[in-house]
């Protein structure tokens, strides 16, 4: 499957708008027209294979404009441009996805919608920076943030002032439906700014200011939860059975000689 030549000329043409149109209307119109151009350029094919050329092209374009996050680099990635003058805030939009183990193989629909939307979102005026987190490869990091896939994490990171003081970054978390998420869903959240209506998260797993991060407990917690997921289902039952038998045997065997002497001394 290949893009038609009309799509190649459609995207640059959509950037031209009248000066009298408000900037938000320009962005909405740009997104709607570009989405329509993409849809019209792709012929409908019954029973199309999952790994199509269009999907590959969208994934390649998305990879070029987003940063992969890992447990080691995320604090260096989600920051403010060092050349920006304070006070200023850098917005980051993180797409969280997964695979067979972390998403039960059901993140493909949301991932396709994200990849198709990302080039359009990047063309927005004052567009946020983009990153993605693959919970299949970065299970520990996802556990340390206590997030699931697919979802979006929206960061607003302020640049520190001259005295190095800065407000706590604002974060908003939005879980995405695995089956119904489309490019329209992403458009409503970002272009129409619906994500701003979500209450900022201020709980213990806040990546910057939550007490799990402050007391360096997030990563140990992540490894603990990961270990529980790897534990065989029969192991807890065996442990409970062993403890209960030990307790019952101790009660049925009666007091030990040391306990008898202690009771005798107390009786005197």
pLDDT in tens, 188-246: 999 999 999 999 999 999 999 999 999 999 999 999 998 888 766 655 666 576 667 66
With 60 as the cut, is the pLDDT of residue 130 above it?
A: yes
Q: What's the length of the chain?
A: 268
With 90 as the cut, is the pLDDT of residue 144 above it?
A: yes
Give the pLDDT confidence score for residue 235 in this predicted structure. Answer: 54
Cα(218)–Cα(222) distance, integer angstroms: 6
Q: H helices within 123-233, ranges in order?
A: 139-145, 183-190, 211-214, 218-230
Give the pLDDT confidence score for residue 101 in this predicted structure. Answer: 87
Say which residue, 40 or 148, is predicted with more confidence.
Answer: 148
Which residues lie closer than 8 Å to 106 by C-beta, 6 or more apart? 178, 179
Rounded to the nearest 10 degrees, the angle between the axes of helix 108-122 and helix 183-190 is: 50
Long-range contacts for 138-142 (Cβ within 8 Å, ≥24 apart)? 138/69, 138/70, 138/71, 139/101, 139/102, 139/222, 139/226, 140/71, 140/219, 140/222, 140/223, 140/226, 141/69, 141/70, 141/71, 141/74, 141/222, 142/96, 142/98, 142/102, 142/222
Closest C-alpha among 110, 99, 105, 100 to residue 134: 99
Residues pairing with 158 in the sheet: 89
Give the pLDDT confidence score for residue 50 in this predicted structure. Answer: 46
Say which residue, 49 or 146, is predicted with more confidence.
Answer: 146
Give the pLDDT confidence score for residue 169 in this predicted structure. Answer: 93
Residue 26 CB coordination number (10 Å)? 18
**R_g (Cα) of the chain, nearest Å:** 27
With 90 as the cut, is the pLDDT of residue 70 above it?
A: yes
Measured CA distances, 27 to 15, 130, 155 (Å): 9, 18, 21
Contact 42, 55 (CB under 8 A): no
Run of H or E including 158? strand 151-158
Say which residue, 162 or 223, is predicted with more confidence.
Answer: 223
Region 53-227: CATH code: 3.40.30.10
Residues pairing with 89 in the sheet: 158
Structure tokens at 178: 């695995």
Using 50, 70 and 90 to split pLDDT, how confident is the model at 134? Answer: very high
Q: Where are the domains of the chain?
A: 53-227, 231-267
Cα(178)–Cα(198) distance, integer angstroms: 19
Q: H helices within 20-127, ranges in order?
A: 23-41, 53-64, 74-77, 100-103, 108-122
Give the pLDDT confidence score for residue 17 in this predicted structure. Answer: 42
Residue 116 CB coordination number (10 Å)? 23
SS3 content of the chain, % helix, strand, coil (to 5): 50, 10, 40
- Can you tell me the mean pLDDT for 76-83? 87
Mean pLDDT of the residues in the chain: 77
pLDDT in tens, 17-67: 444 444 444 444 544 544 444 444 334 334 334 456 655 655 666 667 899
């Amino acid at each position: 499957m290949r893009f038609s030549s009309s799509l190649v000329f459609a995207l640059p043409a959509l950037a031209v708008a009248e000066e009298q149109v408000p900037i938000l209307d320009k962005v909405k119109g740009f997104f709607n027209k570009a989405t329509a151009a993409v849809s019209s350029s792709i012929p409908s094919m019954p029973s199309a294979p999952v790994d199509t050329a269009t999907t590959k092209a969208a994934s390649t374009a998305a990879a070029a404009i987003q940063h992969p996050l890992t447990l080691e680099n995320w604090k260096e990635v989600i920051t403010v441009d060092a050349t920006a003058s304070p006070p200023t805030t850098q917005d980051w939009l993180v797409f969280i996805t997964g695979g067979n183990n972390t998403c039960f193989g059901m993140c493909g629909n949301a991932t396709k919608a994200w990849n198709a939307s990302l080039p359009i979102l990047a063309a927005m005026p004052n567009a946020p920076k983009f990153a993605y987190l693959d919970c299949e490869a970065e299970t520990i990091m996802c556990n340390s943030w206590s997030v699931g896939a697919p979802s979006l994490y929206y960061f607003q990171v302020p640049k520190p002032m001259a005295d190095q003081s800065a407000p706590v970054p604002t974060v908003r978390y939005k879980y995405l439906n695995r089956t119904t998420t489309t490019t329209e869903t992403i458009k409503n959240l970002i272009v129409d700014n619906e994500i701003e209506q979500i209450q900022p998260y201020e709980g213990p797993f806040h990546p910057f200011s939550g007490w799990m991060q402050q007391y360096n407990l997030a990563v140990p917690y992540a490894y603990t939860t990961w270990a529980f997921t790897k534990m065989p289902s029969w192991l807890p039952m065996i442990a409970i059975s062993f403890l209960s038998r030990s307790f019952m045997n101790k009660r049925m065997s009666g007091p030990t000689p040391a306990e008898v002497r202690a009771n005798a001394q107390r009786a005197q």
